[in-house]
Amino acid sequence: MSRRALTLWFIEGVVGFVFMVGGAALLSLWIGSWTWLPAWLTDRPWLVPVAVAVVLLPPVIIEPPLRFAVHRWELSADVVYARSGWLSREWVFVPVSRIQTVDKAQGWFERALGLATVEIRTASYAGSSTIKGLDYAVAARLAEDLSHRAQQLRDDAT
Amino acid sequence: MVFAVIRWVTFTYTIAGDRLELTRAFVSRSVRTIPLERIRGVDVSTPALHRLLGLAVLKLDTGAGGDKQEGELNGVTVEEAERLRAVLLARRGGAVVTSEASVSAGESVGSEPVEEHYYVRVPRSWLRYGPLSGAYLLTPFALVAGAIGLLFQWGDEFGISGRDAWAVGEWLWDRPQYLIIGVAVLVLAMPFVGGVMYAIFNWDFTLRSRDGYLVAERGLINRRVVSLERRRIRGYELAESPLERAAKLVRMWAVVTGLGDSQTRGQLLPVSPKAAALAIATEAIGPFGTPSQSGTSGQSGTPGQSGIRSQSVAALRAHPAQARRRRLFRAIFPWLLVAAGAAVLGWGVVAMIGFVLALVGIPLGLDRYGSLGHGYDGTRLSVRSGSLRRTQAIVERRAVVGWTFKQTWFQRSAGLLTVIAGVGAGRGGYAALDTGERQGVEFAAEVTPEWLDQFVIRS
């Protein structure tokens, strides 16, 4: 896990935050004419975006460090183990012998930060794992190793 | 009509070597080539019209997923469909035999007797269980809706204009007693019509094995034959509603890799007595609950039907008491919230409904907890959950492709964990809901120790 993943999660959080507050601000332009709402709200439509901002701001700030504390991955004895989440947690174990495809992907922000995501797919959604926020070089090597090893171990039991 | 003729004239199929070629040559030409070894199942059905003309529809399951990917031969004669099915499946099964042998077998298989073994010919008396399953209960309403739709679409042709229909509607509206009687008749007709529909679809259900395939055949008008490749069957799923549970009935279908819509196409039995269903599944696919590898307590021979039942239930481990609290909370709290909210706003009726539903949530939550269970017998693992629709999946260990453990913030504070076995078949993942933290991890480590032992610190 690269430290830059912190920046990535923060940027993603801020983008989401801006969209939500922007949406709420747009909504507040209409609210003034909605008669079925109580008067104290229609008189002060700016309350809506402010409320949204107050609710959403703390997660934007605390999510990246929490995620950074939780997210881990490990490849040992031909089993990929990945832990993710922040409030809820998820542990995924995928044996290399059952891997069908390994993808390496980079979004806009990830490219700017030199990060990458490795997606490991098996025949089942519940045996598939996405490892986000890896250093590009690490991700490239992991993807390479996994696809190489998966070919050697290919087990068609599924 | 003309199009249908042209489509029929221009559609040809050939078996060329180890491939099946479907050619469509009207204006644009398309050839679909399906390697025979890719054909994993053949589904023959004869809808009513086809049956009158002695024709059948062949559907080829290629494991590619998605309807578009599958081959379909519409309108071959019944004998030809039978022959094709035998040829296509014999080649598939012949993968272990030398290619020469499989070719010759393929050519003459139509006449050769094939080894068949019937697991069950469902007695007609079992058809009476159909209405209990709730299948096709809405048919009367669907029929009426269809008739009304038809009236609006074609009414003009019969001299019935939209205005007439409107007039009838208004006339009815003024005399609500007729409307009520009509609805009552429909409601009363529900179990009856549902039962008839169910009987039509599940008439003379048989399940048999035929060189490497499980073949399920059913239907009165549209006789449908589904062949499932045995090598791809990974287990089976059972489902019960509370009504069915009270009557000790169960529905069952196979978990098959690469088979879309497994609940319909993988159906192994109609609604059947549970003990019999388990005995059939044990014979056709494999047992759960009698350890076949360790063989510590496994009785040899054929255990009695009640024996299987009690074993398969006993083999499931219960989940911790915190899981009961969580099930109850989730069944009750949302409705209490609705009731409280409605009470604050002064909506008395909504508050009452919310409160009643919250009360109903108490037995529901307890029952949901009672359903929770997981187990492993050395070959197959099993998970069970649900109340209004209780499902139990029994899946081979080798079908597991990975594990996902999930824990929400609430589960973490309760010390619970949801363990999902990723399986490349059926629903894709089978979850043991709300196991104890240690219990869940140990369950996964027990099934696949070679993957998980290195990560697990045992007590």
- Give every strand in the sheet of A89-95, ordered side by side: A72-76, A79-85, A89-95, B400-407, B416-423, B429-436
- The mean per-residue pLDDT over the stretch B139-143 comes to 79
Q: Is residue A124 within 8 angstroms of chain B, CB to CB?
A: yes
Token output for B326: 């969580």
The answer to whether B401 contacts A125, with C-beta atoms less than 8 Å apart, is no
CA quadruple B102, B104, B110, B111: dihedral positive or negative? negative
Q: Across chain A, how many H-helices and E-strands are there?
A: 5, 6
> How far apart are alpha carbons B279 and B312 in whole angstroms?
11
Q: What is the pLDDT of residue B36?
A: 75
Q: What is the pLDDT of residue A91?
A: 92
Which comes out higher in pLDDT, residue A1 or B390?
A: B390
A39 and A98 assigned to the same domain:
no
Does residue B221 lie in a domain region? no
Residue labelled with tokens 């040559």: B25
A22 and A43 assigned to the same domain:
yes
pLDDT per residue over A1-32, tens digit each? 788 889 999 999 999 999 999 998 888 888 77
Contact status, residue B102 vs residue B94, Cβ threshold 8 Å: yes
- The mean per-residue pLDDT over the stretch B408-437 comes to 89
B406 and B381 assigned to the same domain:
yes
Residue A149 has pLDDT above 80, yes or no: yes
Q: Give this complex's ipTM.
A: 0.87
Residue B398's SS3 state is helix
Q: What percent of chain B has pLDDT over 90?
A: 12
Residue B390 has pLDDT above 60, yes or no: yes
A78 and A148 assigned to the same domain:
yes
B132 and B110 assigned to the same domain:
no
Residue of A nearest to B411 (CA): A88
pLDDT per residue over B205-264, tens digit each? 888 887 778 888 888 887 888 888 888 888 999 998 888 888 888 888 888 887 766 777
> How far apart are alpha carbons A117 and A131 in whole angstroms?
6
Does residue B394 lie in a domain region? yes
Closest CA to B307 of B335, B327, B287, B284: B287
pLDDT per residue over A92-115, tens digit each? 999 888 888 888 888 888 888 889
The answer to whether A88 contacts B398, with C-beta atoms less than 8 Å apart, is no
> Is this model's pTM higher than 0.80 or not?
no
Which comes out higher in pLDDT, residue A103 or B131?
A: A103
A75 and A18 assigned to the same domain:
no
B24 and B148 assigned to the same domain:
no
Q: What is the pLDDT of residue A13?
A: 92
Answer with the one of B67, B87, B114 that is the final residue of a domain.
B114
Contact status, residue B209 vs residue B215, Cβ threshold 8 Å: yes
Q: How many domains does chain A have?
A: 2
B339 and B437 assigned to the same domain:
yes
Residue A156's pLDDT band (boundaries 50, 70, 90)? Answer: low
Q: Name the residue range of residue B20's domain.
A: 2-47+55-114
Q: Name the residue range of residue A129's domain.
A: 71-153
**Strand locations in chain A (E):** 72-76, 79-85, 89-95, 101-105, 115-121, 129-135
Q: How many domains does chain B have?
A: 3
Does residue B247 lie in a domain region? no
A46 and A84 assigned to the same domain:
no
Q: What is the pLDDT of residue B159?
A: 67
A54 and A114 assigned to the same domain:
no
A145 and A79 assigned to the same domain:
yes
Q: What are the distances in angstroms from CA B81 to CA B13, B22, B55, B388?
A: 12, 15, 8, 40
Residue B2 has pLDDT above 80, yes or no: no
Contact status, residue B46 vs residue B264, Cβ threshold 8 Å: no
A23 and A79 assigned to the same domain:
no
Q: What is the pLDDT of residue B298?
A: 36
Q: What percent of chain B has pLDDT over 70?
A: 81
> How far apart are alpha carbons B92 and B69 in whole angstroms?
19
Q: What is the pLDDT of residue B427?
A: 81
The winner for highest mean pLDDT among A36-50, B150-164, B289-303, B407-421 is: B407-421
Residue B296 has pLDDT above 50, yes or no: no
A77 and A148 assigned to the same domain:
yes
What angle in degrees, to the nearest 10, is found between the helix axes of A47-70 and A4-31? 160
Residue of A nearest to B405 (CA): A91
The answer to whether B421 contacts A95, with C-beta atoms less than 8 Å apart, is no
B26 and B142 assigned to the same domain:
no
Answer with the one of A69, A86, A110 that is the final residue of a domain.
A69
> How far apart are alpha carbons B42 and B217 in whole angstroms?
12
Which comes out higher in pLDDT, residue B302 or B420?
A: B420
Does residue A34 lie in a domain region? yes
B325 and B450 assigned to the same domain:
yes
Does residue A135 lie in a domain region? yes
Contact status, residue B148 vs residue B160, Cβ threshold 8 Å: no
Token output for B279: 């005995």
**Measured between CA atoms, how close is B232 to chain A, in angstroms?**
8
Token output for B57: 């529809």
- The mean per-residue pLDDT over the stretch B96-108 comes to 36
Answer with the one of A69, A84, A118 that is the final residue of a domain.
A69
A10 and A83 assigned to the same domain:
no
Q: What is the pLDDT of residue B100?
A: 35
Q: What is the pLDDT of residue B398?
A: 87
Q: What is the CATH number of the domain that holds B59?
A: 2.30.29
* Strand bridging mode B116-121 / B71-77: unpaired
Answer with the one of B202, B228, B256 that is the final residue of a domain.
B202
Answer with the one of B154, B182, B202 that is the final residue of a domain.
B202
Residue B313 has pLDDT above 60, yes or no: no
Q: What are the distances in angstroms from CA B70 to CA A54, B34, B42, B95, B241?
A: 53, 9, 10, 21, 33
B395 and B428 assigned to the same domain:
yes
B30 and B154 assigned to the same domain:
no
pLDDT per residue over B323-379, tens digit each? 999 999 999 999 999 999 888 888 888 888 989 999 998 999 999 998 999 988 888
Residue B155's pLDDT band (boundaries 50, 70, 90)? Answer: low
Q: What is the pLDDT of residue B458?
A: 61
**Strand locations in B52-113 (E):** 55-61, 71-77
Lowest mean pLDDT among B162-171, B398-407, B419-428: B162-171
- Give every strand in the sheet of B213-218, ordered side by side: B71-77, B55-61, B41-46, B223-229, B213-218, B206-210, B116-121
- Cα B397–A83–B435 angle (5° rounding)? 50
Token output for A143: 């993807």
Residue B15 has pLDDT above 80, yes or no: no
Residue B119's pLDDT band (boundaries 50, 70, 90)? Answer: confident
A100 and A119 assigned to the same domain:
yes
Residue B304's pLDDT band (boundaries 50, 70, 90)? Answer: very low
Q: Name the phi and psi angles at B322, rounded to 5.
A: -60, -30
Looking at every residue in chain B, the average pLDDT score rounds to: 78
The answer to whether A87 contacts B408, with C-beta atoms less than 8 Å apart, is yes
Q: What is the pLDDT of residue B166?
A: 77
Q: What percent of chain A has pLDDT over 70?
A: 97
Does residue B30 lie in a domain region? yes
B392 and B419 assigned to the same domain:
yes
Does residue A158 lie in a domain region? no
The answer to whether B455 contacts A126, with C-beta atoms less than 8 Å apart, is no
- Cα B302–B304–B308 angle (5° rounding)? 95
Closest CA to B131 of B181, B185, B189: B189
Residue B113's pLDDT band (boundaries 50, 70, 90)? Answer: low
> How far apart are alpha carbons B323 and B434 in whole angstroms?
6
Does residue B284 lie in a domain region? no
The answer to whether B424 contacts A87, with C-beta atoms less than 8 Å apart, is no
Residue B290's pLDDT band (boundaries 50, 70, 90)? Answer: low
Residue B165's pLDDT band (boundaries 50, 70, 90)? Answer: confident
* Strand bridging mode B390-396 / B233-240: antiparallel
Residue B299's pLDDT band (boundaries 50, 70, 90)? Answer: very low
Write the Ramachandran bin of B146: left for phi over 0, alpha for psi from -120 to 50, otherwise beta: alpha
Q: Is residue A33 within 8 angstroms of chain B, CB to CB?
A: no
A62 and A83 assigned to the same domain:
no
- The mean per-residue pLDDT over the stretch B373-387 comes to 88
Q: What is the pLDDT of residue B1?
A: 63
B420 and B327 assigned to the same domain:
yes
Q: What is the pLDDT of residue B68?
A: 54
The answer to whether A91 contacts B412, with C-beta atoms less than 8 Å apart, is no
Residue labelled with tokens 């070089």: A137
The answer to whether A88 contacts B402, with C-beta atoms less than 8 Å apart, is no
> How far apart are alpha carbons B382 and B397 in whole angstroms?
10
Contact status, residue B332 vs residue B361, Cβ threshold 8 Å: yes
B355 and B430 assigned to the same domain:
yes
Q: What is the CATH number of the domain that holds A118?
A: 2.30.29
Contact status, residue B226 vs residue B173, Cβ threshold 8 Å: no
B106 and B153 assigned to the same domain:
no
pLDDT per residue over B251-281, tens digit each? 888 888 877 667 777 888 888 888 888 888 8
Q: What are the distances in angstroms from CA B251 to CA A90, B9, B314?
A: 33, 42, 20
Which comes out higher in pLDDT, residue B363 or B13?
A: B363
> How far apart are alpha carbons B10 and B25 in whole angstroms?
5
Answer with the one of A69, A95, A111 that is the final residue of a domain.
A69
Residue among A87, A89, A126 whose CB faces B402 most closely: A126
Closest CA to B284 of B228, B214, B216: B214
Contact status, residue B290 vs residue B377, Cβ threshold 8 Å: yes
Residue B26's pLDDT band (boundaries 50, 70, 90)? Answer: low
Residue of A nearest to B412 (CA): A88
Q: Is residue A129 within 8 angstroms of chain B, CB to CB?
A: yes
Does residue A148 lie in a domain region? yes
**Strand locations in B78-197 (E):** 116-121
Contact status, residue B205 vs residue B269, Cβ threshold 8 Å: yes
Helix/strand/coil percent split, chain B, to 5: 50, 30, 20
Q: Across chain B, how many H-helices and E-strands are there?
A: 16, 19
Residues of B with CB under 8 A from a CB of A: 257, 398-409, 412, 420-425, 428-431, 444, 448, 451-452, 454-455
